[in-house]
C-alpha cells in the first residue's frame, strides 16, 4: 500500500510541476525542448507497453512513430485534413501497421522477434525514402507547424502535447498495470505456452499489444509532425529505436511511468547539452545505458521500488 | 539482357563475399556466446577509421592497412568482452535481453565517439585503392572490389578451417553447443568467450579496412553493416558457418540483380524483405540447426 | 583417506536453498553412492561439487585443497571427471571430436593417442563409429562415449549423475560392469543414482539425502541390516 501512495504522490507532483512549468520557464527554446521530451515520453511508454508487459521486443518502433508522423503530415498536405483528426489518423494508421508487424512475428521470440520488427521498420524507411512522388523522399513534408482553432504559441503547443502525453501515458498505464488486459499480457510475457494452455488466445493478445503500442507511438509521431512541422525519413530511422530502448531501460522496463519519466529527463538533458555546444550528448546516453545494464538493470524504477519496499 | 543479368550477378558476388564475412563473424559471436551484438557494425567502423587514420599519416596500402585494423579492433573487442559482456554472463550464456541492450548502448556510444573524434564528414582514402580493373568482354571488375572479394574469401576460409581443424576451434564449437559439457572437459568458458568476441570483431574490423578505399567511411556506417550481418545470419541460419557463406552470396546477388527491376534506392529493401520472409517461413534459416522457439 | 569432501554445503538457486548443510566424504579408491527421492538435492550437490553452483555456506575439498569457489574447468584440471545426467556430450560433433575435447587439457599428443586407443579398446563400438556425429549414437553408446571422453583426461575421481538413466536393464548392467572395472583399477567414483539396487551392488559406502539434508549413511550391508532399504526397494518415496 505504501508503494502505491508514494507512486501516486510522485506522479501527482510531476503533473503539477508539468502544469505550472510554462510560468517559470520563459525561454522558448527550453520550453520547446520540454515539449519534445513529452513526445518522447509517449514513445518510450508505448515501447514499454509492448515489451515490459507483453514481452515482445520491438526494434521497429521508429517505424510506428515515423508512420504516424507521415500519415498525419500527408493527410494534412494532400487532403487538408485537420491536424486534430490527423493525430487520430496517425495513431490509427500506425496501429494498423502494428498489426502488419505483429502478424508475421506471432511465432517468434527474442532476437528473432526483434529482427522481424527491425526488418519491417527498415522496409518502411526504405519505401518512405524512395517513393518520391508520394512521400517526397528525403525532402519530406514541411507543414506550417501548428494546430487549428488555437493560437500557435510555444506555450499552447506545450499544453496540447502535455495533455496528449498525460492521456496517453495514463491510459497505457491503466491498461497495463491495472486492467485484466494487462494481467493477460503479463502472463503472456512470462510463459506464453502456459498462457495458451490456460485458454488465453495468445495470438490475438499479441496482435492487440502490437496495435495498441503502435497506436500510441503513431500518435506521438503525429504530435511531432504538427509540433515541429517537418517530417523526413529520419523519423523512421533505427537510431530513434535505439534511443527509445535506452530510455525505457534506464527508466525501468515494465513500469510505463519509469520509461516516460526517463525519456523526459534524458531528452531534455541531451537537448540542453546541445546548446552548450557539445556533441557528447549521445555518447553520454550510450555510456549511461551501458552502466545501467551493468549495475542497475531494473532501471530507476527498480531503485525506487527497492527503496520503498 | 543476359549480359545485364550477368554483370549484376557478378557484382553481386563481389559484395556477397563481404556479406558472407560479416555474417560469419557475427555468427561466431552469436553461436558461441548467444549475445546479440548490435554493435557488430561498429567494429567494422573502427577498422575503417583505423585505415583512414593510417592513410592520413601516409601509412598503408590497400592490403597493408588490414593488419593494424585487425589489431586495433581485436583489442577493442577483448576489452568490450571483458568489461561489458562477461558481467552479463550466467551459466556460460550471456543474458539475452541485457546483452542486446548493452550492445545498443555500445553502438550508440561508439558511433558517436567516432563522430566526435573524426567529425561527420565522409572520409575517403583513395590513396589506398588498388588501381586497375579486369575486363572480361563487356564486364568490368574493379581492382579494389576484387580485393574485397578475395580478402573476404581468404578470411572466411581461414575461419572455417580454424573452426574445423584446431583445438581452439573445437572448443569454441563445443561452447556454442553445450557450455556445461564444455566446462566438464576443462574448457574455460569465460576465456573462450573473450577469444570468440575478439576474433569475431577482428573479422569485422578487417572488412572495414578492406572496404574503405571503395566506400566512404562515416560515423554511422556501422548500422548498415550490422543489418547485413544479421540478415545474412538469419537467412543462412544461426550457428551454420556454411549457411552464412551461402546466404552472403545469395544476398549479394539478389540485391544486385534487383536493380534491374527496382530503382537503385529501393534495392536496399531486398535484404530486410528476405530476412522477414525467412523469419516467417523458415526461422532456422537455410542451413541452421536451432529453431526460433529455442 | 578422504579424496573429496563436502562439508555442510548450503546451496540453491535464487533465494531458496536446496541443500541445507549437506556433508559427505568420498574415500580414495572407493565407490561412494548418493541416493534419495526426487528433489532431495542429489544433482544440486554434484553441481556444487563440480562448480556449476557456488554454495552460500560450507566447503568442498579435494585432496585437502579447498575448491569451493574454484571455476569448473579448474576442478577438471585438478583431476576430477564429471558425467552429467543428460547430454554430457556434443551431438553435432563426431565421436572422435568428442573424445578429443575430453583430452582438451592433455598436451602430449602421444599420451592422447594412447588414451584414445585405450578407449577404443574398451568400447569397440566407438572405434567403429569414430567419424559419425554423436547424435547418431544410441542411448547406451552415448553413455559409453561419455565414459570414454572422461577417461581421456585420466582423472583421479569420476563423478557420475545417474549413469543408468534412460537405459534398459541390460545396458545398465553393461555400464556398471565398466564402472566396477574402473574401480578395481583404482579409480575413485562418486555416483548419484535412482536405481538403488544397482548402486548398492557396487558401492562401498552410501549416503541418503532427503529434502536437502543428510538422512543416513553407511555401507550397503549395514543399511540392509538396519531395514532402511525396504521402502526403497518398493519404489520411489520417502526413506
pLDDT 10s digits, C137-169: 998 999 999 999 999 999 999 999 999 988 899
With CA atoms as reference, the chain C residue closest to B169 would be C101
Chains C and A in direct contact, meaning 3 or more beta-carbon pairs closer than 8 angstroms: no
With CA atoms as reference, the chain C residue closest to B165 would be C97
pLDDT in tens, C180-219: 999 999 999 999 998 888 898 899 999 999 888 888 888 8
pLDDT in tens, C53-62: 889 999 999 9
- Reading the block at residue B180, the C-alpha cell is 556445461
Place of cell 549395514: C222
Chains C and B in direct contact, meaning 3 or more beta-carbon pairs closer than 8 angstroms: yes
Out of B84, B276, B292, closest to residue A119 by CB: B276
Tell me the longest C-alpha to C-alpha distance in chain B: 59
Classify residue A108 as exposed, middle or buried by CB count within 10 Å of its CB (0-12, 13-18, 19+).
Answer: buried
Which chain A residues are closer than 8 Å to B102 by Cβ? 289-290, 293-294
For C:15-54, CB contacts with B below 8 A are 50-52
The answer to whether residue A43 is domain-embedded is: yes
pLDDT in tens, C86-137: 889 999 899 999 999 999 999 999 999 999 999 999 999 999 999 999 999 9
Sequence-distant (6+) residues with CB within 8 A of C31 are C179, C183, C188, C189, C191, C202, C203, C204, C205
Q: Which residue has the higher pLDDT, C224 or B96?
A: B96
**Min Cα separation A158/chain B (Å):** 29
* B66, B210 Cβ separation under 8 angstroms: yes
With CA atoms as reference, the chain A residue closest to B222 would be A239
pLDDT in tens, A108-131: 887 888 899 999 999 999 999 888
What distances in angstroms separate CA A215 from CA A34, A41, B121, C13, one per listed residue?
Answer: 22, 14, 37, 41
Out of C91, C97, C149, closest to residue B170 by CB: C97
pLDDT in tens, B202-240: 999 999 888 887 788 888 889 999 999 999 999 998 878
Mean pLDDT, chain B, integer: 86
Instruction: Assess B289–C contact: CB distance below 8 Å, yes or no.
Output: yes
* A116, A108 Cβ separation under 8 angstroms: yes
Total domains in chain A come to 1
The answer to whether residue A213 is domain-embedded is: yes
Mean pLDDT, residues A257-273 taken together: 87
What do you get for the CA distance between the two ends of chain C, in Å?
Answer: 28
Sequence ranges of the domains in chain B: 2-281
Contact A290 B97 (CB under 8 A): no
Which helix H or strand E contains C58, and what residues bound it?
strand C57-62
* C133, C93 Cβ separation under 8 angstroms: yes
What per-residue confidence (pLDDT) applies to A152? Answer: 77
What do you get for the CA distance between the two ends of chain A, in Å?
Answer: 10
User: What is the number of other CB atoms lying within 10 angstroms of the CB of residue A34?
Assistant: 21
With CA atoms as reference, the chain B residue closest to A106 would be B280
Contact B167 C77 (CB under 8 A): no
Out of B110, B113, B230, closest to residue A115 by CB: B230
- Reading the block at residue A244, the C-alpha cell is 527509445
Q: Is the pLDDT of residue B293 over 70?
A: no
What distances in angstroms separate CA A185 from CA A54, A57, A60, A175, one per listed residue?
Answer: 5, 13, 20, 10
C-alpha span between B289 and B283 (Å, rounded): 10
Q: Is the pLDDT of residue A162 over 50?
A: yes
Beta bridge partners of B175: none
Contact B98 A293 (CB under 8 A): yes
Q: What pLDDT band is residue B84 in, cutting at 50, 70 and 90?
A: very high
C-alpha span between A21 and A29 (Å, rounded): 13
Q: Is the pLDDT of residue C13 over 70?
A: yes
Instruction: Say which CATH topology domain B2-281 has.
Output: ABC transporter involved in vitamin B12 uptake, BtuC (1.10.3470)
Instruction: Assess B173–C contact: CB distance below 8 Å, yes or no.
Output: yes
**Min Cα separation B250/chain A (Å):** 18
Mean pLDDT, residues B179-185 taken together: 94
Mean pLDDT, residues B173-190 taken together: 93
C-alpha span between B20 and C159 (Å, rounded): 43
Mean pLDDT, residues B22-40 taken together: 90
What per-residue confidence (pLDDT) applies to B291? Answer: 45
Q: What pLDDT band is residue B65 in, cutting at 50, 70 and 90?
A: confident
The answer to whether residue A160 is domain-embedded is: yes
What distances in angstroms separate CA B206 from CA B31, B91, B148, C87, C139, one per listed residue?
Answer: 20, 31, 10, 37, 45
Contact B105 A290 (CB under 8 A): yes
Contact B189 C104 (CB under 8 A): no
Query: Is pTM, for the whole model, over 0.90?
Result: no
Range of the domain at A126: 34-240
The answer to whether residue A309 is domain-embedded is: no
Conformation bin of residue C36: beta by default, left when phi > 0, alpha when psi is -120 to 50? left
As a whole-number percent, the residues of chain C with pLDDT over 70 amount to 94
- Reading the block at residue B81, the C-alpha cell is 568482452
Q: Is the pLDDT of residue A141 over 90?
A: no
The answer to whether residue A294 is domain-embedded is: no
The answer to whether residue A22 is domain-embedded is: no
Contact B174 C50 (CB under 8 A): no
Classify residue A293 as exposed, middle or buried by CB count within 10 Å of its CB (0-12, 13-18, 19+).
Answer: buried
pLDDT in tens, B106-158: 999 999 899 888 888 888 776 656 667 777 766 777 777 788 888 888 888 89
Mean pLDDT, residues B81-91 taken together: 89
C-alpha span between A181 and A184 (Å, rounded): 5
Amino acid at each position: 500500500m505504501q508503494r502505491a501512495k508514494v507512486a501516486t504522490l510522485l506522479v501527482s507532483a510531476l503533473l503539477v510541476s508539468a502544469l505550472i512549468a510554462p510560468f517559470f520557464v520563459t525561454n522558448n527554446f527550453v520550453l520547446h525542448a520540454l515539449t519534445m521530451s513529452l513526445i518522447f515520453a509517449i514513445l518510450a511508454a508505448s515501447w514499454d507497453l509492448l515489451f515490459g508487459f507483453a514481452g515482445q521486443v520491438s526494434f521497429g518502433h521508429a517505424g510506428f512513430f515515423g508512420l504516424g508522423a507521415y500519415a498525419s503530415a500527408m493527410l494534412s498536405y494532400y487532403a487538408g485534413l485537420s491536424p486534430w483528426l490527423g493525430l487520430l489518423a496517425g495513431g490509427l494508421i500506425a496501429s494498423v501497421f502494428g498489426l502488419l508487424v505483429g502478424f508475421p512475428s506471432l511465432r517468434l521470440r527474442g532476437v528473432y522477434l526483434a529482427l522481424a520488427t527491425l526488418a519491417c521498420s527498415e522496409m518502411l524507411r526504405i519505401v518512405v525514402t524512395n517513393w518520391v512522388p508520394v512521400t517526397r523522399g528525403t525532402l519530406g513534408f514541411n507543414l506550417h507547424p501548428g494546430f487549428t482553432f488555437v493560437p500557435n504559441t510555444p506555450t499552447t503547443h506545450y499544453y496540447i502535447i502535455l495533455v496528449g502525453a498525460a492521456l496517453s501515458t495514463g491510459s497505457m498505464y491503466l491498461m497495463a498495470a491495472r486492467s485484466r488486459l494487462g494481467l493477460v499480457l503479463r502472463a503472456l510475457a512470462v510463459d506464453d505456452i502456459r498462457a495458451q494452455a490456460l485458454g488465453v488466445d495468445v495470438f490475438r493478445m499479441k496482435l492487440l499489444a502490437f496495435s495498441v503500442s503502435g497506436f500510441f507511438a503513431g500518435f506521438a509521431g503525429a504530435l511531432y509532425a504538427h509540433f515541429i512541422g517537418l517530417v523526413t525519413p529520419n523519423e523512421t530511422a533505427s537510431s530513434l529505436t535505439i534511443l527509445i530502448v535506452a530510455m525505457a531501460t534506464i527508466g525501468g522496463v515494465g513500469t510505463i511511468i519509469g520509461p516516460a519519466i526517463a525519456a523526459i529527463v534524458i531528452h531534455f538533458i541531451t537537448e540542453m547539452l546541445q546548446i552548450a555546444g557539445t556533441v557528447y550528448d549521445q555518447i553520454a546516453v550510450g555510456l549511461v545505458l551501458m552502466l545501467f545494464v551493468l549495475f542497475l538493470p531494473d532501471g530507476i524504477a527498480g531503485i525506487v521500488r527497492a527503496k520503498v519496499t | 539482357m543476359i549480359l545485364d543479368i550477368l554483370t549484376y550477378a557478378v557484382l553481386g558476388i563481389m559484395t556477397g563475399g563481404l556479406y558472407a564475412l560479416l555474417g560469419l563473424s557475427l555468427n561466431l559471436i552469436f553461436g558461441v556466446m548467444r549475445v546479440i551484438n548490435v554493435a557488430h557494425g561498429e567494429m567494422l567502423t573502427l577498422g575503417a577509421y583505423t585505415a583512414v587514420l593510417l592513410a592520413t599519416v601516409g601509412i598503408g596500402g590497400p592490403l597493408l592497412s588490414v593488419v593494424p585494423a585487425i589489431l586495433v579492433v581485436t583489442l577493442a573487442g577483448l576489452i568490450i568482452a571483458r568489461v561489458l559482456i562477461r558481467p552479463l554472463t550466467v551459466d556460460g550464456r550471456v543474458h539475452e535481453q541485457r546483452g542486446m541492450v548493452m550492445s545498443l548502448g555500445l553502438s550508440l556510444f561508439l558511433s558517436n565517439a567516432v563522430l566526435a573524434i573524426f567529425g561527420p564528414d565522409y572520409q575517403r582514402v583513395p590513396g589506398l585503392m588498388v588501381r586497375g580493373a579486369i575486363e572480361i568482354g563487356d564486364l568490368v571488375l574493379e581492382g579494389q572490389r576484387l580485393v574485397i572479394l578475395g580478402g573476404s574469401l581468404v578470411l572466411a576460409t581461414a575461419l572455417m578451417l580454424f573452426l574445423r581443424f584446431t583445438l581452439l576451434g573445437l572448443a569454441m564449437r563445443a561452447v556454442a553447443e553445450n557450455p556445461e559439457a564444455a566446462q566438464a572437459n576443462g574448457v574455460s568458458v569465460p576465456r573462450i568467450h573473450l577469444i570468440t568476441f575478439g576474433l569475431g570483431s577482428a573479422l569485422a574490423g578487417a572488412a572495414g579496412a578492406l572496404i574503405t578505399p571503395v566506400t566512404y567511411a562515416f560515423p554511422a556506417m556501422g548500422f548498415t553493416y550490422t543489418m547485413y550481418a544479421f540478415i545474412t545470419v538469419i537467412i543462412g541460419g544461426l550457428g551454420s558457418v556454411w549457411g552464412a557463406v551461402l546466404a552472403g552470396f545469395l544476398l549479394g546477388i539478389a540485391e544486385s540483380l534487383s536493380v534491374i527491376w527496382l530503382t537503385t534506392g529501393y534495392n536496399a529493401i531486398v535484404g530486410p524483405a528476405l530476412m522477414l520472409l525467412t523469419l516467417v517461413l523458415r526461422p532456422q534459416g537455410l542451413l541452421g540447426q536451432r529453431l526460433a522457439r529455442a | 583417506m578422504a579424496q573429496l569432501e563436502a562439508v555442510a554445503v548450503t546451496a540453491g538457486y535464487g533465494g531458496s536453498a536446496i541443500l541445507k548443510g549437506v556433508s559427505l566424504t568420498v574415500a580414495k579408491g572407493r565407490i561412494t553412492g548418493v541416493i534419495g527421492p526426487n528433489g532431495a538435492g542429489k544433482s544440486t550437490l554434484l553441481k556444487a561439487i563440480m562448480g556449476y553452483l557456488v554454495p552460500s555456506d560450507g566447503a568442498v575439498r579435494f585432496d585437502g585443497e579447498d575448491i569451493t569457489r574454484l571455476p569448473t574447468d579448474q576442478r577438471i584440471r585438478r583431476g576430477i571427471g564429471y558425467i552429467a545426467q543428460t547430454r554430457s556430450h556434443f551431438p553435432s560433433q563426431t565421436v572422435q571430436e568428442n573424445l578429443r575435447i575430453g583430452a582438451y587439457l592433455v598436451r602430449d599428443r602421444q599420451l592422447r593417442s594412447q588414451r584414445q586407443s585405450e578407449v577404443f579398446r574398451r568400447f569397440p563400438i566407438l572405434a567403429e563409429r569414430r567419424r559419425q556425429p554423436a547424435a547418431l549414437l544410441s542411448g547406451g553408446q552415448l553413455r559409453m562415449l561419455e565414459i570414454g571422453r572422461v577417461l581421456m583426461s585420466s582423472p583421479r575421481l569420476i563423478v557420475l549423475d545417474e549413469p543408468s538413466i534412460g537405459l534398459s536393464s541390460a545396458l545398465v548392467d553393461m555400464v556398471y560392469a565398466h564402472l566396477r572395472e574402473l574401480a578395481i583399477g583404482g579409480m575413485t567414483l562418486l555416483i548419484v543414482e535412482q536405481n538403488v539396487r544397482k548402486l548398492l551392488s557396487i558401492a562401498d559406502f552410501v549416503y541418503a539425502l532427503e529434502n536437502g539434508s543428510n538422512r543416513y549413511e553407511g555401507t550397503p550391508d549395514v543399511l540392509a541390516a538396519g531395514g532402511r532399504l525396504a521402502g526403497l526397494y518398493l519404489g520411489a518415496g520417502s526413506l
